[in-house]
Structure 1
Amino acid sequence: MTAPNPFTAPVTLTGPHARLEPLSRDHRDALRDAASDGELWKLWYTSVPPPDRIEAEIDRRLALRDAGSMHPFTVFDADGRVAGMTTYMHIDAINRRVEIGSTWTRASCQRSGLNTQCKLLLLRHAFEQLDCIAVEFRTHRLNTQSRRAIERLGAQLDGILRSHLRMPDGTLRDTCVYSITAAEWPTIETHLQWQLDKPRSA
């Protein structure tokens, strides 16, 4: 195990619409239930673990945390129910860059303030406590829902990595790379807080 560093040090991030806690094996059963909500693993362009693979996925993420390349979180909704998972990944502590990714959210929590709250908490911690110079987001070129969500944050498209990854079903993924820089953060923070504060249609 590598020496602890600020990028992987345990921290709980809390807001009105969501709470992010360090991923724990104690969350296994609740994460299985969350993964079953909407059967998200059946979406071919994502990599959401099915319920019977949750334990292995927790172990994988915790191993990457111990290696210093990932900081995994369990996501809770405003009612304290486990809603999914998210991470700081591809941590580059020397250049002070991270990617927010490996994120999935139970279907019944989607299209709510939860995702925006999570991103606000993660971005604020990255820029204000970890002193990051940039934060990345990556997604499948054909995952239009994810791309719209990233663009609503205010992230800019840096480019598309063609035939970047092989998906579990054997298809090749074109990866869209987005980022927010430290210089952009104050405006993005205001934008995200406005999104959370504005009235939501039913």
Structure 2
Amino acid sequence: MSYADTPLLQNDVVRLEPLSQSHRDDLAEAVGDLWRTWYTRIPSPDGMAGEIDRRLARQAEGGMAPWAVVDARTGRAVGMTTFMAIDEANRRLEIGSTWLGPAAQGAGINPAAKLLLLERAFEQLDCLAIELRTHWHNHQSRAAIARLGAKQDGILRSHTIMPDGTVRDTVVFSILNTEWPSVRAGLAHRIATR
């Protein structure tokens, strides 16, 4: 079993389907104006096909596992997520390059999707640690990551030059395998009481 494999993952709230061009139209519609947010790297509707191709190429190289995030109620793709920064030798990976369209935010889809990803990472792939990273200015993402039960490890200052030339400070969070039982219980409770 490779960390770059993308099996179908599902629960009552969300399906994580192996990303393909068949998701392009749903994703182009779901993204709305989110791609205009200056501190993110979210594909525009016109750039969606190219981003799908880029992620699939990274998967073919073994560096990424990309999924489409599908709302189980509607059957429509509402976002993307990946395993990236794959380091099988050290049993680590990052959950990242994630976005959910504005209509899917706050609907319980993010915690349900993260539960599936973390179950795969810790229970099937036997990971020791999972990283989650975001831009310092993405306060919504930082709060969502903390609500998952991840702990902030630190901030990588002047870490990445963004497409518009601004420099990103990257906030790094992680969840360790020893923390997974508590994180899992917290996520399960959130999903059950939504």
Task: Please tell me the TM-score bracket, short chain as reference.
Answer: over 0.9
- Asked if 1:20 corresponds to 2:16, the answer is yes
- What is the Cα deviation at residue 142 of structure 1? 1.1
Separation in 2, partners of 1:60, 1:78: 26
Partner of 1:145: 140
Deviations 1:39-65 (A, max 9, x none): 101111111110110011011100100
2:130 corresponds to 1:102: no
The CA distance in 2 between the partners of 1:7 and 1:105, in whole Å, is 23
Q: CA deviation at 1:111?
A: 0.8
- Determine the structure 2 residue equivalent to 1:29: 25
Measured after TM superposition, the shift of residue 78 of structure 1 is: 2.2
TM-score normalised according to structure 1 size: 0.93
Q: Secondary structure at the match of 1:94?
A: helix
TM-score normalised to structure 2 length: 0.97
Quote the RMSD (CA, aligned, Å): 0.9
Give the alignment partner of residue 169 of structure 2, picking from 165, 171, 174.
Answer: 174
Q: CA deviation at 1:28?
A: 1.4
Residue type matched to 1:71 in 2? A
Give a deviation string over 1:89-144, Cα, whole Å, max 9, x none.
01001111010000011101101110000000000110000000000000001110
Partner SS, residue 156 of structure 2: strand
User: The residue matched to 2:62 in structure 1 has which SS?
Assistant: coil
Instruction: Give the ranges of 4+ consecutive aligned residues of structure 1 lying more than 6 Å apart after TM superposition.
Output: none
Counting aligned pairs with the same residue, the percent is: 54
How many residues get paired?
193
SS at match of 1:50: coil
Match of 2:55 in 1: 61
* Contact 2:4/2:65 (8 A) holds in 1: yes
Q: Secondary structure at the match of 1:60?
A: helix
In the TM superposition, what are the counterparts of 1:118-137 in structure 2 within 5 Å? 118-137=113-132
Q: What residue in structure 1 maps to residue 150 of structure 2?
A: 155
Partner Cα separation in structure 2 for residue 165 and residue 67 of structure 1: 23
Alpha-carbon displacement from aligned partner over 1:169-192 (angstroms, at most 9, x marks no partner): 110000000000000001110010
Q: Secondary structure of 2:31's partner? A: helix
